[in-house]
Amino acid sequence: MQTAEQIKNMIREKYSAIALQGKEANEASCCGSGCASTEVYNIMTDDYSRVEGYHPDADLGLGCGLPTQFAQIKKGDTVIDLGSGAGNDCFIARLEAGETGRVIGIDFTPAMIDKARAHADKLGYNNVEFRQGDIEKMPVTSAIADVIVSNCVLNLVPDKSGVIREIFRVLKPGGHFCISDIVLAGELPVQIQQAAEMYAGCVSGAIQKQDYLGLIETTGFVNVSVQKEKPIHIPDDILGQYLNAEEIAGFRQSGTGIFSVTVYGEKPKDMACCGPDCCQ
């Protein structure tokens, strides 16, 4: 079993390589839309092409939803995107927050930060910034954000409860989050659970849906709701890298489900933060 640090290093290496490729090459990753399969075209990604503020060059095809669709971003909001990648969701959030708003993207992969900054410079967006850092310990002060979004990232993080506590810390009282992520219903085969590529591919690092929602509620968020849910089908040619035909058939019959969910939650308005440590 890999340690948390080993998992982070593996993720960083994987996504550094992705950052240096184009979207077409990335569609061969399990987080991408093609996943090297002839069985289905899209596995996780949603279509951004009709979303206002979308810039194709910043879309590496690595998401599993459209979190900004349900994020209720208003003009003047400060928005933080966790695991901002090449900047795709940040630029959409920027359109909704307007010129008076502010968008901060956080990613722990230097190559992604470089790519996102280059896109922002090219587009002339002076109210969008990208910070390198770990979302388990965000490089921002407490109670700064009106809205936090994230797209298919928390499943990659070993300490999910730590990230959710950080989201609570960083949101203003009355602020809210909208996160698209991968969750499970049932158990994955051991071979999938232990496969590094399936962890980097947003599958084996996912936790049970009820546990995911439970972490959010026990942290103190209110009005928690699932805004959207869709099943994720992993094609046989992907499973075949880890399972034999009999094992694939058993997995199909097991009832285990892999889902993309978009979850919304609010920090209570009366949750004032009295100092640097009180929201930890």
Tokens matching residue 280: 């930890």
**Exposure class string for 110-140: b at 16+ Cβ within 10 A, else e:** ebbbebbbebbeeeebeebebeeebbbebeb
Confidence check: pLDDT of 275 > 70: no
Average pLDDT, the chain: 88
* Residue 277 falls inside a structural domain: no
Digit-coded pLDDT (tens) for 106-159: 999 999 999 999 999 999 999 999 999 999 999 999 999 999 999 999 999 999
Band (pLDDT 50/70/90 cuts) for residue 24 is low
* Residue 272 falls inside a structural domain: no
Which residues constitute the domain of residue 171? 4-266
* pLDDT greater at residue 62 or residue 187: 187
Q: Is the entire prediction scored with pTM above 0.85?
A: yes
CATH number of the domain that residue 183 is part of: 3.40.50.150
* DSSP codes of every residue in 206-250: --BHHHHHHHHHHHT-EEEEEEEEEE----HHHHTTTS-HHHHHH
**Exposure class string for 29-65: b at 16+ Cβ within 10 A, else e:** bbbbbbbebeeeeebbbbebeebebbbebbbbbbbbb
The β-bridge relationship of strands 145-151 and 171-185 is: parallel
* Residue 195 falls inside a structural domain: yes
* Residue 271 falls inside a structural domain: no
* Residue 275 falls inside a structural domain: no
Band (pLDDT 50/70/90 cuts) for residue 177 is very high
Number of domains in the chain: 1
Nearest CA-CA partner of 209 in 189, 192, 229, 190: 229
* Residue 93 falls inside a structural domain: yes
* Residue 273 falls inside a structural domain: no
Looking at residue 46, what is its pLDDT?
Answer: 84
Q: Quick one: average pLDDT of 39-61?
A: 77
